[in-house]
Each structure stands twice: as structure tokens, then as C-alpha cells.
A and B are shown apart, each in its own frame.
Chain A
Amino acid sequence: MNNKDLYNYILGIADNSLILGQRLGELCGHGPTLETDIAGTNISLDLIGQTRSYYQYAAKIQGEGKSEDDIAFLRLERDYKNVLLVEQPNTHFGYVMGRQYLFDVYHLLLMQGLANSADETLAAIAKKGIKEVSYHKRFSGDWVKRLGDGTEESNEKMQEAIDDLWTYTDELFDLTESDEKMISEGIGVDASAFKNQYYDEVTALLKEANLQVPEGKYFIRGGKKGVHSEHMGYLLADLQYMQRTYPNMEW
């Protein structure tokens, strides 16, 4: 491998997009309104598009003649490095929007940093991604507000989702060894540097949405090291089904 750290760094970002895109893909045709269905599909499509750009680049860096699909579909669970937040299930629409918002705020800050990366390809992917992710954040943030400050029932449901998902937020700012190497080379973004900004922004919106900011000090982490929640295996069973059942074929 030419540059293992760069490869790992790209996957650390791309796997989040893949797994969240996959989760949103489950909802197609099952949303509360036609408009939210369209928006959810659209966000999923953006994320899968980003994933493809990252994996194509990662395959090139890897230099083993593999394709974007090899990387997407043919790894073992422990080799996916997405954060635990994005693999959490679509329990109800409050969870879907809560998960999205808690990720989008982070995602946009990351993209804004990555747009200045010393690596031109990553910078280009990020610049394109900024527009998409800004829209995602507006959409999910608006829904968190609507649900938080809507009816009593919706407030309870949105609060339940935020309380449950909050425990996965801290992991977003963990740095792996490859992250640190890439940061030192001016390629990677130091997510720990915008952690306070992230929590300030999220806190402000939750308050505006009439929601309590969870006070829990205990966080769950593991995705970045490939130690996932029990949901992940099922998600991968769907995702990998065709490639595993019919190996080495073109589609």
C-alpha cells in the first residue's frame, strides 16, 4: 500500500457516508409525507455519491487494483470504521432526524476543514460536499425544531431520540493514529479542535427546539476502531448480500 494512513483516513470519513446513506435508504417510500420521503432519498443519494468519490480515491491510493465496490461491500464488520451514531436504527422519525442532525453539524464542520486540505482530491470532494451537507443540516435541524417545539407527543419523542443518540456524539471527535498522522501533514482535519463549536451549536438549536440538552457524562465509542453495535451486522447483511452471494460478477 502506498499510503496506509491516507487510505485509513479516507475510509474513516467515507464509511460514515456509506452507512448513513444505507440507513436512509431503508426508509424510501415509508416516510410521514411525500416531501420527507423525497428529501430523505435525496440525502441518501448525496451520501452515496460522496462515498463513491472517496472510495474511488481510496482504491487508487491502495494501489491493489480494487474497485469502489470491493471497498464498500467486501470488508469484514471489524474493518468498517464508521462512528456508532450513523449505524443506529430508524426507530422512528425523531431518531432519523436526530441522528441526521447530530451527524450533519459535525459533517459540515469537517467538510469545511477538509476543503482546505493539502490533498487536492480530498479538498475537491469536500468543496462539493459542503453544499450538500449544508442542505442536510438545514433540513434535519428544521425537523428537530418542528418536532421539539411541535406537540407534546412530538416533543417527548424527539427528546427520547436525543437522549438516546447523545451518548454516541463524543466519538465523533476521537482521533485515530491515522487521523493524527494526516493532521500533521496538513491533509486531515483535527475534529477535536471544533468539538466545543459543535456542542455550542447543537445546544443552541436544542434549546430553541424546546428540548433538554442531555447531561449524561458517559459516552459510548468503538466504531472508529471497528467495534460496532449489534445493529451493524444486520445492516451489512443487507448491504453485502449480492456481492457475497454472487462473487466476482459485474452488475
Chain B
Amino acid sequence: MSEKEIKSLEEIFEARIARDEKIEPKDWMPEKYRKTHIRQISQHAHSEIVGMLPEGNWITRAPSLRRKAALLAKVQDEAGHGLYLYAACETLGVSRDELFEQLHSGKAKYSSIFNYPTITWADMGAIGWLVDGAAIINQVPLCNTSFGPYARAMVRVCKEESFHQRQGFEIMLKLCNGTPEQKEMAQDALNRWWWPSLMMLGPTDAESIHTEQSMKWKLKRKTNDELRQQFIDQTVPQADVLGLTIPDPDLKWNEETGHYDFGEIDWDEFWQVVKGHGPCNKKRMKDRVSAWENGAWVRDAAMAYAEKQENKKVAKAS
């Protein structure tokens, strides 16, 4: 294909996106579009499956049978999200095994928030309320993104995430209406998860390298800073309902802007965790890699068995 031809294909492609048409896997797409989508969708899928670990950590210790069942269901939902996001990614011509390889080698990223430890039951509440809350703010606009399989996956993901978020808030509410010990547990969880949740919405606009292109392809509708502000504005009144204090002495309602002003985010901490040196980065990867390696004989067996069955069928037919 000549450069001129490619250029005209690109123009048609961009025009389709501008008209809000969905791009489907078999459609022509610029290589950069394909790569960017593989990167973003797989990163999202990895976040779902690594995200199973900090919450899975509390399944055996959930304080009631009702909570145990709800947590099991939640972690199962996350595995399900991972599954169909990997499937959406596979439509772009990359296999799940390759994507796992990228995760395990450290080449692919996942949401940094999961590199923080879950040390009390209240962390199950805080993750649902804050982490899923921030995730929803990130993800709702993706239900209208240009790549069809991703947009459709996100419709389901968002529905389930908003259920998780309410469930997390409800865990917090129960703690806050409980004994002083329980309320203290809730406050402590908020103290630890607040700032990492703000960081989850990504670096400031000035530092964000992917924003412009992503906006054009509707992989992004608002900038990181806009999303962060939206998250804060939405969450502060919820903390008030709980009777908890947001751990930010500079947090203040600003009549003029109609938004909350907030304190400086510790970006050194953000980059430390992103670069692999957070409290649980190594443990999370070790858990994923050992699950994969310990499961190799099982996957091999399944392949061998399937082949034997196939051969038997062929032998019978002939």
C-alpha cells in the first residue's frame, strides 16, 4: 500500500470515529490504534486479575457468612472482567498467553493501587468505596469508546463495578455505625487508601503522555485532573455521611469554583509504586507468576487430554 493510500484510509478511519461509529476487529485500523488499544485493554485486564489478590486475601477471614459470600462474588466478577477484557484484546491479534507473559515479565503495567496491602477488614470496604469508585469514574466514559469490543465489555464491567462500589460503601457504613473499634478501623482504612485512590486517576495532565491521542480516539473523554476533581467532589460528601475525616488538612470547599480544593499529592510515592517499588509489587507478581507456573502441568494435561479426545473422535469417524 502506498503512503497516499494509507493516508486516505486513515482519514476515513478518523472520520468514522468522529461520527461516533464503532470500529470492529476486522475493520482496517492504524497500527498505532491497534497497539494503543492492546496496551490499554490488557492493562485493564491485568488490573482486574491482580486486583483479585488483595481482596482474595480476606475471603477466608470475612467476618460473616453474608460478607464472605459477597466477597467471593465480587472477586469472581473481577475474574470475569479479566476474562472478557482479555477476549476483547485477543480480537486485536494478540493471545492471552502473550499478554500473561507481558504481565509476568513486568513489561505490562496494572493499576498501582493493588500494590498496597489489605491489612484489615475495613480495607474491603475502602477498596469498594474508593478504588471501585475511582475506577468507575475512569471507566464510564469508556462505554462510548470507539473500539466496539472494548465499549461493549465496559458496559457490563461498569454495571458490576457500581454494584461493588455500593457494597463497599455499605461495609464502611456498617463499621461507622458500629463500635468505636469498628469506626476506628474504618477511619484507618480511609487514611491509608485516600491518597492512593487519588493517584489512581493518573499523573497530572502536564505529565500524562497519552492524553491527546487517547482523547481523539475516545479512549479518554476527560483529562486525569478533571477526573480526579470529579472523584473528590463526589466522595467528600459520602465521607461526611459516614462521619469519617478525609486525611487532607487542605481539603476545603471553594465557593468560587464550585469544587473542593485539595492538598498536594505525593507524586514521589506514585512513581515509586509505578516503578515497582511499592509495598506489595513483588508479592503480587510472585503470586501471579507462581499461580501460572504451578498451573503449567494442569494446562498441559488439559491440552493433552483434548488432543486424545480429538484423536479418538477422528479414529471413530474413519
Footprint of B on A, CB under 8 Å? 22, 25-26, 28-38, 41-42, 44-45, 48-49, 51-52, 55, 68-69, 72-73, 92-93, 145-147, 149-151, 153-154, 157, 238-239, 241-243, 246, 249-251
Contacts and interface: CB of A to CB of B under 8 A. Distances in A.
B25 interface: no
B181 interface: yes
B295 A32 contact: yes
B18 interface: no
Nearest to A72: B65
Interface stretch (B69-77, B137-145, B149-157, B251-259): B69-77
A26 B59 contact: yes
A239 B60 contact: yes
Interface of B: 49, 52-53, 56, 59-69, 72-73, 75-76, 79-80, 82-83, 86, 121, 171, 174-175, 178-179, 181-182, 287, 290-292, 294-305, 308
A222 to B, nearest CB: 23
B305 A150 contact: yes
B76 A38 contact: yes
Nearest to B68: A48
Given A32-B295, A33-B299, A42-B76, A51 B65 contact: yes
A40 to B, nearest CB: 9
A154 B301 contact: yes
A250 B174 contact: yes
B179 A93 contact: no
Contacts, number: 138
Given A55-B65, A145-B305, A246-B181, A41 B75 contact: yes
A239 B292 CA distance: 27
A43 to B, nearest CB: 10
A157 B301 CA distance: 11
A83 B175 CA distance: 35
A29 B66 CA distance: 20
14 contacts: A28-B75, A29-B56, A29-B291, A38-B80, A45-B72, A45-B73, A52-B66, A92-B294, A146-B301, A150-B305, A154-B297, A238-B60, A249-B179, A251-B67
Given A34-B49, A242-B121, A52 B83 contact: no
